[in-house]
Amino acid sequence: MLDPKLLRESPDLVRAAIVKKHSDVDVDAVIAIDDRWRTLITEVENSRAKQKAANGEMAKLPKGSPEFIAKVQEMKAVSAEVKEKDALLKETEIKWKQALMTLPNLPHESVPEGRFEEDNVVLSHHGDHEAEFPHAVSHWEIHDFEKLFDFGRGAKVTGAGFPFFVGEGSRLVRALLNFFLEENSQKGYTEVSPPIMVNAESATATGQLPDKEGQMYETLEQLYAVPTAEVPLTNFFREEIIDESALPVQRCAYTPCFRREAGSYGKDVRGLNRLHQFDKVELLKWVHPSQSYVELDKLRGDAESLLQKLELPYRVLLMCSGDMGFTQTKQYDLEVWSAGQKRWLEVSSCSNFEAFQARRAQIRYRNAETGKPELLHTLNGSGLAVPRVLAALLENNLQADGRVKLPAALVPYFGKEYVSFSG
RNA sequence: GGAGAGGUGGCAGAGUGGUCGAAUGCGCACGCUUGGAAAGCGUGUGUAGGGUUAAACCUACCGAGGGUUCGAAUCCCUCCCUCUCCGCCA
């Protein structure tokens, strides 16, 4: 959510940012309802002040006295007036909040203007994705692939996009998760195992609701299966005030992630490319507002270092204003080279939300100088998502004999150098 | 799931219809005192919204939401959470 004061004081700034974001939100409609709300709240508060003043007088009058009775009669009218106006105010307030929720976050000045995927800026390449990968094939074409990654039985038991990971496939997932968690812990991210179901308040605070309702699985109890650990992790400090000296707070969490992804099709969803349930380790930072862009680059660096240790060629994208998410001010994507499919796969998205989530979630720090609570900034990024990293590892490192050679960093976690599909 | 108890400021804990944003204690901050400290004494100490150049000022908030009333922390209803006991269970 944006600061309503920004909307009042600098509407042009908001309008310009909305244009840059290629959003079609009606900023002036939001301003109009904000005006209406302010008028109403002032009226209601004035009437309440009258009530309160009368209350003080009545307390001093003898209970059954004529003056007292007269005052009761007089105040009945005021009471009715308050009731009526208050109902109108509440109604308006709901609309006001809904209207404010429709405004996306404003892109940072360093974000390139653009509308589509091809407007994203490639900042850098790492590793040699143009090298020879002599045995690379799309991972689902690897001989006996289904022995370790059983999509057929997953479809039977649950549905498409819910594979079983079997034997060395499962072991490989575990090795990657342990590797990610261990590396992140060493970089100062405290490990957390959060709940993987969240309530509507939490999903609203991070921006999944109401904007992306169709993304999540929902239960009868109105709980949502998390689409990312970002949701429970960010909400850990919801409605809390953190000591300024504790910033930045850094945490990481592994969770399965659940996404409905309604409407996707084609090569994007083959094999491990896109699943309804997948494993991911998420990095999260709560930072002082003055530090959030410095911290964002550090966060991205931390995610990158994982790819470097896994010896996977990757590139860094700076997302353009129109292709960024609803809640972000700036976003980098890390894409790994998948030699078999000959395409880039997104494995991490590192974002600054500034105070957008913090305002919805009411997460603040206490300014040591003024003693006042102020909204902090939240950042997050994947570190990393398992299935696509897995896809690239399998494809890029496939040997002539059908085995997959693992990078040195992963060997201690997997327990041996090669993944075998023979059984 | 069943039975009972309870949710008040940073914490503890009063308050059962009116002057209560809320006694008191602790904590915290500042000042006095002291060679310095402790003790003691004094003053202050929540959050949010509106309003203002800034203030003043106004309003709301006693788990959440409704209701009764001229007026609700206090009475009524619904929900949530915590604790104790019982049942069930990895």
> What is this model's ipTM?
0.86
Nearest DNA or RNA nucleotide to A55 (CA to C1'): B71
The residue written with tokens 């003080």 in the block is A56
Nearest DNA or RNA nucleotide to A241 (CA to C1'): B47
Residue A224: beta bridge partners? A198, A218
Distance in Å, residue A369 CA to nucleotide B36 C1'? 28
**Do residues A154 and A165 touch, judged by C-beta distance below 8 A?**
no
CB atoms within 10 A of CB A32: 12
Rounded to two decimals, what is the model's pTM? 0.92
Q: What's the DSSP call for residue A126?
A: E
Token duo for residue A90: 């509440």
Strands A190-192 and A249-258, by their bridges, are: parallel
Nearest DNA or RNA nucleotide to A4 (CA to C1'): B49
- Residues engaging strand B (CB under 7 angstroms): A 4-5, 38, 41-42, 44-46, 48-49, 51-56, 58-60, 63, 71-72, 75-76, 78-79, 82, 90, 364, 371-373
Any idea of the CA torsion for A208, A211, A217, A218, to the nearest 10 degrees? 100
Q: Where are the domains of chain A?
A: 4-101, 117-419
> How far is A345 from A247, CA to CA, in rounded Å?
33
CB atoms within 10 A of CB A227: 22
Dihedral sign of CA atoms A280, A285, A286, A291 in order: negative
Distance in Å, residue A60 CA to nucleotide B16 C1'? 21
Helix (H) or strand (E) holding A294: helix A292-309
Any idea of the CA torsion for A305, A307, A312, A316, to the nearest 10 degrees? -90
Strand B, nucleotides < 7 Å from a protein CB: these are 18-19, 47-51, 58-60, 66, 70-71
Residue nearest to nucleotide B19 (CA to C1'): A56
pLDDT averaged per 10 residues in sequence order, chain A, 423 residues: 91 93 93 93 92 88 85 91 91 91 93 93 94 91 94 92 95 97 97 92 88 82 91 92 89 95 70 94 96 97 97 97 94 96 95 94 86 92 95 95 95 96 75
pLDDT value for A330: 97
Distance in Å, residue A231 CA to nucleotide B62 C1'? 31
**Helix, strand, coil distribution of chain A in percent, nearest 5:** 45, 20, 35
Distance in Å, residue A327 CA to nucleotide B57 C1'? 37
**Do residues A399 and A133 touch, judged by C-beta distance below 8 A?**
no
Token duo for residue A372: 């006042």
Residue A406: beta bridge partners? none
Distance in Å, residue A163 CA to nucleotide B54 C1'? 63
Q: Extract the runs of DSSP E, i.e. beta strands, from A148-289.
A: 149-150, 164-165, 190-192, 197-198, 224-225, 240-243, 249-258, 277-287
pLDDT value for A57: 87
Burial per residue of A135-169, b for 16 or more beta-carbon CB atoms within 10 angstroms, e otherwise: bbbbbbebeebbbbbbbeebeeeeeebbbbbeebb
Angle at A226 between CA A332 and CA A264, to 5 degrees: 65
Q: Which CATH architecture has domain A4-101?
A: Orthogonal Bundle (1.10)
Distance in Å, residue A361 CA to nucleotide B69 C1'? 36
pLDDT value for A215: 87
**Side chain identity at A159, as an amino acid letter?**
G
Fold of A117-419: BirA Bifunctional Protein; domain 2 (3.30.930)
**Do residues A191 and A235 touch, judged by C-beta distance below 8 A?**
no
Residue A126: beta bridge partners? A314
Residue nearest to nucleotide B71 (CA to C1'): A55
Spatial neighbors of A9 by CB under 8 A, at least 6 apart, are none
